[in-house]
Amino acid sequence: MFQMIGKHGLKTIYLLLLLSIVVTTTRAETSGQECGLSHPRLSKVINARCYDWKLPLDYSQPEGKRIGLHLAVIPAKGKNPLPDPLFFFAGGPGQSAVDTALLMWPVFSKIVTQRDIVLIDQRGTGDSTPLDCPSDEQLVMIADSRQLVQHTQECLDSLHQDVRYFTSRQAVQDVEYVRNKLSYEQINVMGVSYGTRMAQLVLREYPQRVRSIVLDGVIPLETVVGVDMADNLQQSIQKLLFDCSTDAACKQAFPDLHQEWQAYLELPLEEQRDISLMHPRSGEMLNLQVSRESLDIALRLLSYSSENRSLLPLLLHTTARGDWAPMLKQALLVAVSLEGEMSEGMHNSVVCTEDVPFFRDLPKKSKRVMGQFPQQLEKICEGWPKGKSYADIHQPLQSAVPALILSGEVDPVTPVTYGELALKQFSKGRHLVVPGQGHNVSPRGCVPRLVADFIEDLQLTEEQTTCVQDTAQLPYFIDMQGPSS
């Protein structure tokens, strides 16, 4: 999941238009209403104030069509809250920021004692004019380009918005609109995965408005998403194989895992198999036609979190021995758990505008895991309207704003090297690598406290950061019963 303009002359015009819109808003719109933030997988409810506003679809035509923007503010708990809130940007692209409140609560709970938390459902996601498409978890297993193209066209046909105006550029303008409307002079920004692109662009476009920036699973601005997907995933799997070989229980259970991995890579890409799986929610039997590429998609899904990574040696072992069902079942379970959390249309509007047009010198299709991913993205984007984003979307920034960059050591999509590249943009930057962790590390171990301390003090000492070395790592499953005792 993951996972975009000559600017200076037009920026002044946009800001003037923006301010002219802001002053016409009513007191009722600004006050919001009490609401509770929840998540289907968690029982806690967070008290917040929710806002629903109408914003221009196209900021260059402020009197034209307007779309809905939804956001939530979790108010600071202290009697004397600090004036600079945290604006949080979710991943995908396509994830609702409001829906992530509980998932990010380990971090937010530390920050909200002093600062408001502002969660904007980026346009096209959540309750902000969502570009949702008919969902089908079975598509997780589909790697056939024709089926993907057909599904993408059906998705586009089902939408009733001009999808060209749902890119990072308009979303950054929405952030400035919200900041003005809520009367925040300066803000702190934090993003996870694709949200790090948003956070960096907010800083690049409105540098005087940002006090600090936190990037978790960073996509450097110069990085074109998708081109090196296979390289990043391969690197993550190699670390998995090495870790298993140095873990006594894993090595004993899977002594030939390196050879089994090579056998996996030799599976024919196009060979189709008929497999029946039970839907984990409905109990309905699904009759799927899958291939090695379907397994690749499943493997990618299961590489993100440390919980699912703990299953991978076992799943690679069973797959190499001819039983594909366990890996596909686990991936389907993950896909079902994410149902409704991603807006596919918004994802396509961003990627097909801000990444695919910048593909250059793509590696040839190969038998590597996800070796055909860039070509499949190109197919998806052939029929998707190219949006209105920044012409210089991949131009890095240079900033003296204090920055904290967080990377998971085994992240399969935004590797440690991305963190090192992003760090070059900041004269006051710090990069922390969390051992044994995958994508999105900020809620894990002592990292929530470090994020809060950084936003408070704008720096971290070496003594403070040593705690990341103690971040808990799950043991590997050696069979379907779990890890060894």
Q: Which domains does the chain have, with CATH numbers?
A: 8-131+158-225+393-470 (3.40.50.1820)
What is the residue-level pLDDT of the chain in tens, covering all 485 positions? 444 323 333 332 222 233 333 333 343 456 789 999 998 878 899 999 999 999 999 999 999 999 999 999 999 998 899 999 999 999 999 999 999 999 999 999 999 999 999 999 999 999 999 999 887 655 555 567 788 888 899 999 999 999 999 999 999 999 999 999 999 999 999 999 999 999 999 999 999 999 999 999 999 999 999 999 999 999 999 999 999 999 999 999 999 999 999 999 999 887 889 988 888 777 889 888 888 988 999 999 999 999 999 999 999 999 999 999 999 999 988 888 777 788 999 999 999 999 999 999 887 777 788 888 898 899 999 999 999 999 999 999 999 999 999 999 999 999 999 999 999 999 999 999 999 999 999 999 999 999 999 999 999 999 999 999 999 989 999 998 888 76
* DSSP character at residue 273: E
Amino acid 178 reads: V
Q: 6 and 51 in contact (C-beta within 8 Å)?
A: no
**Pairing mode, strands 66-74 and 117-120:** antiparallel
Query: 2: helix, coil or strand?
Result: coil
Q: 83 and 184 in contact (C-beta within 8 Å)?
A: yes
What are the DSSP calls for 31-91, one per residue?
Answer: H-EEEEEEETTEEEEEEEEEEEEEEESSTTSTTS-EEEEEEEEE---SSS--S--EEEE--
Cα four-point dihedral sign 295, 300, 302, 303: positive
Q: 235 and 228 in contact (C-beta within 8 Å)?
A: no
CA proximity to 299, closest of 146, 291, 193: 291
Amino acid 374 reads: P
